[in-house]
Structure 1
Amino acid sequence: MGAVLMAAVSIRGEAAGLGESLSEGIATNFDQTTNTEEETKATAEVVWTGTPLEGYVNIGIANVEDNLNIRSEADTESKLVGKLRKDSACEILGTEGEWAHILSGEVEGYVKAEYLYTGDEAVNLAFQLGQTVAKVDTDALYVRMEPTTEADFWTMVPRGEELAVIEEQGDWIKVDIDGEEGYVAAEYVNVTSELKTALTITEALYGEGVTDVRIAICEFAKQYVGNRYVWGGTSLTKGADCSGFTMSVYRNFGVSLPHSSRAQAGCGTKISVSEAKPGDLIFYGNGRSINHVAMCIGNGQVVHASNSRTGIIISNMYYRSPVSAARIIND
């Protein structure tokens, strides 16, 4: 084992000096097929620490144009438990015929192996796809308009949320939240390079007294989770922005909404965020005006077209500070 660890340290040292060429062949030094399972894990832990491959031993990456279905069993008739988005990563736990048993994020299940990049190809691709994120490591993090504590903050983000990093600026990190730029103090986040992982498919807990039409609206909206974000878009399948998403969902139920988050905030009946029911709209701002809209789906969650990095996703309703809510249907 000592020899393996020494080899791993040597490989990582070489990799550090390669810079961008890291993605052009370091995988050839890491043989998952000839090492024992223990040796492979030890090597991976040392070699990939601080890279997009950290935590992976036998990585697979989705080779699809849209989403790859993850099923509970190695059978096309089994329950759908998640979606592996294009270029998302998974740990390959084993194979059963034409199926790969995988773990990605919180989802474990089976996918058709033919739709995965594997081996050296997956390792090299991972370095190209890794995205720099800042994971919040404090209970409530202020997002400020400028990189100084004297600047106003326009939202707060809870512990555990991951923010897309635009630029590291010493004591401050420039981040993207739903397409808006802001600054967070570097001491309160952990910056890492990560790969996208699977999306879970869970049924929302709606609670008592929620009408069938509200459930129908939410279920309709959730089926598009994993699809693309496109600025100015209104297509639920080809891409939509935040207001285009909510507009198109409600259009399916005969309700007309404007294509603007600020304009939608003036529709229906204004309610407090704490009163929100599934189907109600939740609005977020940047300190100056409303700039984002999401749909409440119950259980403290919203579904929304977030940004080009994540697409249509489900988030905690308080993933940033909501500023208002609107009830579009009165039942």
Structure 2
Amino acid sequence: MTGRKKIALKTISFWTAACLLLPMSVQAAQDGGAKGVLQQAGIASMMDVSLSEEEYIAAAQEAQGASWGYTNIGIAEVESGNLNVRAEASTNGKVVGKMPKGSACEVLENFPDIGWAHIKSGEVEGYVSTEFLLMGPDAKLRANELVRTVVVADTDGLRVRDEASTDGAVFTQVPQGEELDYVATLEGWYQVDIDGESVYVSAEYAHVEERLDTAVTMAQLLYGQGISDLRVDLVEYAKQFLGNPYVWGGTSLTKGADCSGFVLSVYKNFGITLSHSSRAQAGEGTRISYSEIQPGDLVFYANSSGTINHVAIYIGGGKVISASNPTSGIRINKYNYRTPVRYVRILNE
């Protein structure tokens, strides 16, 4: 094989690795040409030196990790549910947080001799079993598949509209910092998905970022005094399905449920029968105000015409859990991630 052929094959190997391993934000720089990609990845000088194929791939992987803000990325790899984060490197350690399937963490230290790793994910720091944690190149490859694009609100009370126009009806309003699932970029607008509804926000008051999901702290469940064991049990039961899939018309807490199917199945576990419709569930139980809300109560949301089209379970601390959409699955949000229109109490202990 000639030297020229070797160089050509090496170049092909590099570009294959780069396209596979660099995150979307870096790949987007291809609009500026190959030089732009290499410069953004911090590996422009690689074209001027002789590197092996393995070195090219390693450099691309290292650039990707840095782009996502992780020096040593780890990815929770569980069949379903969540990976427990514990205060100690032992199955007897207190659970301090949960990493949903596919969520990311910084691996602070790996202890291969005992099968545990010290990690930090979002606000959670602790230890996880490495049996269920991808690390190294495998984690970076998996993260490339999992990274999602979100639209972040830059102002409080950002109006979300039915159409990409200021004449469009207001679907809801979201608080500053709220992350919405990105669909497309239009002229001056972002198309987003909120609980399965395709809606729009002004690009003037929002920006696009890439995100990998992170762990949820146990402290996010704040019950307060006077909360019954039934309510605590119901919320804990609902939360164990965090990260599981959304399926329209579904009622399975493991294989997939829609918003009302999720609520229906959680309550069914406690001997309570509800309808499989958010609008119907809004008429069941007793209407209450937000000042009266307790963990286990239901929070309802509506479209721009005022028709209720989504339901979530209040879990305390200003948070709700719901089956959101196919992109996000079962997730936790602030209760006002969109404008609530009704609060309903089903549990009357």
TM over 0.5: yes
**Which interval holds the TM-score relative to the shorter structure?**
0.7 to 0.9
1:115 aligns with 2:132: yes
CA contact (8 A) 1:273 1:322 kept: no
CA distance in 1, matches of 2:147, 2:55: 16
2:267 match: secondary structure: helix
Q: Residue in 2 aligned with 1:38? A: none
CA distance in 2, matches of 1:166, 1:243: 24
1:59 aligns with 2:73: yes
1:114 match: secondary structure: helix
Once the two structures are superposed, the pairs formed by residues 147-162 of structure 1 within 5 Å of their partners are 147-162=164-179
Q: Which has the higher helix share?
A: 2
CA distance in 2, matches of 1:195, 1:203: 19
Q: Give the RMSD, CA atoms, in angstroms.
A: 2.6
Q: Residue in 1 aligned with 2:7? A: none
CA deviations 1:181-216 (Å, max 9, x no partner) are 110011211211121222222363333443343333
- CA 10–235 in structure 1, closer or farther in 2 if over 3 Å, else same: closer
- CA 25–255 in structure 1, closer or farther in 2 if over 3 Å, else same: farther
Relative to the length of structure 2, the TM-score reads 0.78
CA distance in 2, matches of 1:206, 1:121: 39
- Decide which moves more: 114-123 or 186-195: 114-123
1:167 aligns with 2:184: yes
- Letter paired with 2:118: H
CA distance in 1, matches of 2:256, 2:40: 45
Q: Residue in 2 aligned with 1:36? A: none
Larger Rg: 2
Q: Residue in 2 aligned with 1:280? A: 297
Structure 1: gaps of 5 or more residues: 1-7, 16-23, 33-43
Q: Residue in 1 aligned with 2:163? A: 146
1:291 aligns with 2:300: no
1:202 match: secondary structure: helix
- CA 208–99 in structure 1, closer or farther in 2 if over 3 Å, else same: closer
CA distance in 2, matches of 1:219, 1:55: 31
Q: Residue in 1 aligned with 2:106? A: 91
- CA 85–212 in structure 1, closer or farther in 2 if over 3 Å, else same: closer
* Deviation for aligned residue 1:219: 2.9
Q: Residue in 2 aligned with 1:306? A: 324
- CA 273–89 in structure 1, closer or farther in 2 if over 3 Å, else same: same
Which residue, 61, 75, 91 being the options, matches 2:90?
75
- Decide which moves more: 294-303 or 155-164: 294-303
CA distance in 2, matches of 1:203, 1:126: 25
Aligned residues: 301
Q: Residue in 2 aligned with 1:239? A: 256
CA deviations 1:154-199 (Å, max 9, x no partner) are 1011011111000011310000111111100112112111212222
Relative to the length of structure 1, the TM-score reads 0.82
- CA 59–27 in structure 1, closer or farther in 2 if over 3 Å, else same: farther
Once the two structures are superposed, the pairs formed by residues 241-256 of structure 1 within 5 Å of their partners are 241-256=258-273
CA distance in 1, matches of 2:40, 2:222: 51
* Deviation for aligned residue 1:124: 3.1
- Where in structure 1 do 4 or more consecutive aligned residues deviate above 6 Å? none
CA distance in 2, matches of 1:83, 1:327: 27
- Decide which moves more: 296-305 or 141-150: 296-305
